[in-house]
């Protein structure tokens, strides 16, 4: 299937690791131009250099999405460099689990307001696009109570609600909005590799909950996100796509 992404312009936050990095790479493989950001300058530069091999425009910048003015400046630079924005993917998370004020503030600033500010900054460009799409990366923790039931799960749930509200509000302006809720996703250097090493009991328990007997790969999650971002999904808006291998037990009607 041709997803129709060739020549479209995307902005992705958190583009150097895991799911975000794989979304960037998959978009580039499909012929989209991509501007991405992450906090670590060296990792951003290395990722930008590596992905230049795809022969389409790729722009990487070091940005803390919890800093509103810096994030807005990045979006403005991306719009100028790419000649517009058709797709935004809000992927970054603070991964805040601790039930203290530091954790709650970090989750609010990065997960929630990082998403809101990204979309608000990109909105003037999205309104001019013929294929405007908003993708937010949520989590199965938005649906079920687990060990991330503090700020992480709460703000992921809020992001799903926010995204579905956008879908309704923006439908008349031909801007689609969908969220993707990954299950546990394993990749080198990721949180689950750290848990596997640092808390093997929790890792074993979490792995046993999935009837597939494994965790997701970043590519499996990215495939869903990139499809929803593409013109091939032109009549899909307001959905929350679970990519969890039947981990969650709740029924979505």
Q: Is the dihedral of CA 210, 211, 215, 220 positive or negative?
A: negative
Instruction: Give the single-character DSSP code of 141.
Output: G
Please calculate the CA angle 241-11-122 and round it to the nearest 5 degrees. Answer: 95
The C-alpha atoms of residue 168 and residue 77 are separated, in whole angstroms, by: 29
Residues 6+ apart with CB under 8 A from 104: 96, 150, 151
**Could you tell me if 210 and 245 are in contact, meaning their C-beta atoms sit under 8 angstroms apart?**
yes
Backbone angles phi, psi at 89, to 5 degrees: -125, 110
Instruction: Give the single-character DSSP code of 154.
Output: H
Q: Could you list the active site residues?
A: 152
The C-alpha atoms of residue 45 and residue 16 are separated, in whole angstroms, by: 9
Rounded to the nearest 10°, the torsion over CA 99, 90, 20, 237 is 120
**Could you tell me if 72 and 88 are in contact, meaning their C-beta atoms sit under 8 angstroms apart?**
no
The C-alpha atoms of residue 217 and residue 245 are separated, in whole angstroms, by: 11
């Amino acid at each position: 299937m041709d997803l129709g992404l060739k020549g479209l312009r995307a902005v992705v936050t958190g583009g150097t690791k895991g799911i975000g990095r794989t979304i960037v790479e998959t978009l580039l493989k499909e012929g989209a131009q991509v501007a991405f950001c992450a906090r670590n300058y060296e990792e951003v530069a290395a990722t930008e250099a590596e992905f230049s091999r795809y022969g389409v425009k790729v722009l990487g910048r070091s940005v803390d999405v919890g800093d509103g003015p810096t994030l807005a400046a990045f979006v403005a630079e991306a719009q100028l460099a790419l000649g517009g924005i058709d797709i935004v993917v809000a992927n970054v998370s603070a991964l805040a689990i601790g039930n203290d004020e530091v954790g709650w503030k970090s989750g609010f600033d990065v997960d929630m307001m990082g998403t809101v500010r990204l979309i608000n900054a990109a909105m003037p460009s999205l309104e001019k696009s013929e294929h405007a799409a908003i993708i937010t990366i949520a989590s199965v923790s938005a649906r079920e109570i687990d060990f991330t039931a503090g700020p992480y799960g709460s703000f992921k749930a809020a992001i799903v609600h926010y995204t579905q509200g956008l879908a309704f509000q923006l439908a008349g302006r031909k801007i689609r909005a969908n969220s993707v809720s990954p299950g546990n996703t394993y990749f080198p250097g990721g949180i689950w590799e750290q848990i596997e090493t640092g808390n093997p009991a929790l890792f074993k328990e979490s792995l046993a909950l999935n009837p597939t007997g494994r965790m997701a790969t970043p590519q499996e999650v990215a495939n869903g996100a990139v499809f929803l971002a593409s013109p091939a999904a032109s009549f899909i808006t307001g959905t929350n796509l679970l990519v969890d291998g039947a981990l969650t037990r709740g029924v979505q009607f």
